[in-house]
């Protein structure tokens, strides 16, 4: 099976690097890659948002601020590369063809952001489409897709299974109003729908047992075409 893991920056680096979690993720990815083809995309999280917010003080240039975020995602990716050691390709992969080439020599390609205007969720969705992956696992700080924002609504209900079309609708609704419940952005959701990609959206607790997650055993949300 070919699997792309999309790991949120705020999961790896909430305020500072979560060393224990990174070790556990790295160990699992190493073991999973012995039986499956694995690629990873790492986000920027809170650190990237903090830098981008600070940059607004000095420049209105959105593309420039996007590049700041991209650099943070690649720093996070380098941290995971260090944790995986010899199993990982030793440099941050910056394009999909290179990711495919790395996988052919039984190494794990790890990416961060690529282009301004694309979140790492969008990068992961495009990578999964390019690689014709069997599965995209999105690890985020929310443990699935909800019918409303669980951080604001204590009665929000987790959706166990939705279609890719429904994911797009939820993501677009989230971006159009405050308090939305989307865990991936609308562009990423559209790429997922276009690529007919099967997705598991899980939280940090489920990520502690990725061995079971790739078998379909988790408490998150399943997204299917």
141 is in an annotated binding site: yes
The dihedral sign for the CA sequence 79, 143, 149, 224: positive
What is the total count of domains within the chain?
1
pLDDT at residue number 176? 54
116 is in an annotated binding site: yes
Within the chain, residue ranges assigned H as helices are 9-12, 19-32, 45-55, 62-84, 96-104, 120-131, 164-176, 186-194, 204-207, 210-213
57 is in an annotated binding site: no
Q: Tell me the whole-structure pTM to 2 decimals.
A: 0.95
pLDDT at residue number 152? 84
What CATH number does the domain containing 29 carry? 3.40.1160.10
Per-residue pLDDT of 71-126, as tens digits, reads: 999 999 999 999 999 999 999 999 999 999 999 999 999 999 999 999 999 999 99
pLDDT at residue number 179? 38
71 is in an annotated binding site: no
59 is in an annotated binding site: no
44 is in an annotated binding site: yes
Which segments in the chain show pLDDT lower than 70?
176-182
148 is in an annotated binding site: no
Q: Which residue segment(s) compose the domain that 136 sits in?
A: 2-223
pLDDT at residue number 224? 98
What are the CA-CA distances from residue 145 to residues 9, 99, 170, 188 (Å)?
18, 28, 9, 14
């Amino acid at each position: 099976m070919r699997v792309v893991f999309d790991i949120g920056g705020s999961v790896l680096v909430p305020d500072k690097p979560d060393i224990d979690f990174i070790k556990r993720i790295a160990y699992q990815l190493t073991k999973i890659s012995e039986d499956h083809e694995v690629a990873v995309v790492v986000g920027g999280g809170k650190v990237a948002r903090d830098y981008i917010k600070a940059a607004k003080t000095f420049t209105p240039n959105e593309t420039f601020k996007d590049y700041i975020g991209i650099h943070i995602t690649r720093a996070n990716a380098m941290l995971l590369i260090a944790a995986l050691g010899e199993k990982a390709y030793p440099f941050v992969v910056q394009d999909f063809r290179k990711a495919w080439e790395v996988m052919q020599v039984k190494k794990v390609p790890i990416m961060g952001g690529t282009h301004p205007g694309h979140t790492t969720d969008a990068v992961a969705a495009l990578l999964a489409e390019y690689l014709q992956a069997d599965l995209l696992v999105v690890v985020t700080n929310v443990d699935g897709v909800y019918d409303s924002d669980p951080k604001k609504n204590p009665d929000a209900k987790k959706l166990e299974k939705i279609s890719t079309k429904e994911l797009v609708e939820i993501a677009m609704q989230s971006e159009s109003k405050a308090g939305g419940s989307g865990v991936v952005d609308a562009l990423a959701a559209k790429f997922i729908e276009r690529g007919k990609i099967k997705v598991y959206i899980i939280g940090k607790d489920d990520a502690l047992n990725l061995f079971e997650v790739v078998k379909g055993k988790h408490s998150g949300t399943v997204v299917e075409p």
